[in-house]
Amino acid sequence: MDQAGASSPGGTAAATAEVSWEQLHALIGANYVRPAGPADAVMGVASQTVAEPADEMQLAAALRWANEADIAVAPRGGGTKLGWGNAPRVLRLILSTKRLNRIVEHAWADLTVVAEAGVTFGKLQSALAQHGQRLAVDPLWPENATIGGILSTNDSGALRLRFGGLRDLVIGVTLALPDGTLAKSGGKVVKNVAGYDLPKLVTGALGTLGVITRAAFRLHPLPPAEGRTLTFRAGSVSDANRLIVELQGSPLAHTGLQARARHDVQPEVDVRFDGTPAGIEAQCTTARKLAAFAVETGESAQVWNARQELWTLADTAAVAKFSVLPSRIAAACETVRRAAEKGGMKWKIVAQGTGLGWVRLEAAQPADIREALVSVRAEFERGAGSLFIANRPAGSGAIEAWGSPGDAYPVMLRVKQQFDPRGTLNPGRFVGGI
């Protein structure tokens, strides 16, 4: 099953015990339980069965049944980011949230929404747009990604700079725990400090503590007019970094700020303004003054697709998310460049003003990528940063998806053991083998 002798911090569920799947049929209906196919594998680990419960009660019942039968479970939403994280140690059941697809309540006058986990981001945004509102995040593959999956992978884009990450926008969740408990925390009002903030705890937890069955979010109004994006070409990555730091240190209220750098062209910096036409105009003027040392090259909102475009995957590419101090974006680019050049690789970076960024490495030999990622991660960690490998090419060898979780790792382990003592949920997929 897994690496022999490896210690399994989250406990482990069995791989091959005989199971009476009929019991699962009885819980959620035989029509919604089917054998898993090759497309259902998670990072090369095949599952036996896929189940699609109708609602959160069924989902919780199925999870409890699996937990008691020691069946390892991977929750799945749209399946757009199943390659993120570590390969599961073992997997037998995929619990899909596909049918949990209701928008429960859009209280537009209160700027909140409650939706089930399987609602796709695209569906949610269209519904919210009817009242001139949005959930102010820009995740990858919005048409297929579900809110449960977006939360579990903590996938945020350029809007994070102005509106905060998912952790700042999620105000409540309902969780199905391995023992079948359906527990809610938070609520559906924006301001609320009653009880522990579990919505934040499960954001980015990759489904290892419980299955998110519904979530409530605070919303923002859609910008009143089409925003404007300015793009500047910088002479070097340090000039690009300088521009980012200056824009961030200015009183401008931009809603996006990113640097794009790659092996073969000069870096560019994009900044976006939303708001009233007069406000946008005045801010563009200020931004141009600040960017006097760079060359303005265009105005196109297309540049905000750059993050997603990193995923036009060749078999030989890896994509990783990094986090560094905003002042160290240039240093991060240099680190990537050195490592890539050493291995003769192409590289691309999209780095946001928050210090979060994404890097794509492309090599002729997948094995070279591993070495580059390891050295880049070590360098980032020395500067208080981190590197999370979201996608890696086949043949690049085993490499932990996250780096060091630091001295709080024992606490994380204890949290996992409290929520999922039998190690049923996504065993081995999270940080440090959790």
Q: In the window 389-418, what residues touch another protein (CB under 8 A)?
A: 402-415, 417-418
Taking the complex as a whole, the smallest distance from the CB of residue 122 to another protein amounts, in Å, to 22
Count of positions (residues) in the chain: 434
Q: Sheet holding 317-323: strands in order across?
A: 295-298, 228-233, 268-273, 256-262, 346-352, 356-362, 317-323, 386-391
Residues with Cβ within 8 Å of residue 256, at least 6 apart in sequence: 158, 159, 161, 162, 229, 270, 271, 272, 304, 352
Residues numbered 34-93 forming contacts with another protein, rule: CB under 8 A: 70
Do residues 307 and 259 make contact, with C-beta atoms less than 8 angstroms apart?
no
User: Which position among 58, 120, 213, 386 is part of the footprint of another protein (CB under 8 A)?
Assistant: 386
* Reduced 3-state DSSP string for 277-296: HHHHHHHHHHHHHHCCCCEE
User: Which position among 222, 290, 374, 399 is part of the footprint of another protein (CB under 8 A)?
Assistant: 222
Taking the complex as a whole, the smallest distance from the CB of residue 8 to another protein amounts, in Å, to 5
In the complex with another protein, the residue whose CB is nearer, 4 or 394, is 4
Taking the complex as a whole, the smallest distance from the CB of residue 315 to another protein amounts, in Å, to 27
How many residues touch another protein (CB under 8 A)?
A: 105
Neighbours of 33 (CB within 10 A): 20
Taking the complex as a whole, the smallest distance from the CB of residue 231 to another protein amounts, in Å, to 20
Helix or strand holding residue 387 (H, E): strand 386-391
Residues numbered 147-206 forming contacts with another protein, rule: CB under 8 A: 154, 164-165, 167-168, 175, 177, 181-185, 187-198, 200-201, 203-205
In the complex with another protein, the residue whose CB is nearer, 162 or 263, is 162
In the complex with another protein, the residue whose CB is nearer, 365 or 375, is 375
**What would the two tokens of residue 312 be?**
């036009």
Do residues 326 and 353 make contact, with C-beta atoms less than 8 angstroms apart?
yes
Residues with Cβ within 8 Å of residue 433, at least 6 apart in sequence: 6, 7, 8, 9, 10, 86, 89
Taking the complex as a whole, the smallest distance from the CB of residue 432 to another protein amounts, in Å, to 8
User: Which position among 35, 37, 221, 235 is part of the footprint of another protein (CB under 8 A)?
Assistant: 221
Minimal CA–CA distance to 346: which of 265, 278, 272?
265
Place of tokens 């030989």: 316
By CB neighbour count within 10 A (0-12 exposed, 13-18 middle, 19+ buried), where does 206 fall?
buried
**Binding segment for another protein among 102-110, 122-130, 227-235, 341-349 (CB under 8 A)?**
102-110
Taking the complex as a whole, the smallest distance from the CB of residue 176 to another protein amounts, in Å, to 11
Taking the complex as a whole, the smallest distance from the CB of residue 249 to another protein amounts, in Å, to 6
Taking the complex as a whole, the smallest distance from the CB of residue 408 to another protein amounts, in Å, to 4
- Is 356 an interacting residue with respect to another protein (CB under 8 A)? yes
Residues numbered 247-276 forming contacts with another protein, rule: CB under 8 A: 248-253, 275-276
Measured CA to CA, the distance from residue 358 to residue 89 in angstroms comes to: 27
**Binding segment for another protein among 9-17, 45-53, 138-146, 365-373 (CB under 8 A)?**
9-17
Residues with Cβ within 8 Å of residue 277, at least 6 apart in sequence: 225
Helix or strand holding residue 370 (H, E): helix 366-382
User: Which position among 233, 423, 424, 426 is part of the footprint of another protein (CB under 8 A)?
Assistant: 423
User: Which position among 39, 278, 394, 398 is part of the footprint of another protein (CB under 8 A)?
Assistant: 278
- Is 238 an interacting residue with respect to another protein (CB under 8 A)? no
**Binding segment for another protein among 41-49, 107-115, 138-146, 291-299 (CB under 8 A)?**
107-115
Taking the complex as a whole, the smallest distance from the CB of residue 345 to another protein amounts, in Å, to 24
Taking the complex as a whole, the smallest distance from the CB of residue 307 to another protein amounts, in Å, to 15
Residues numbered 303-342 forming contacts with another protein, rule: CB under 8 A: 321, 323-327
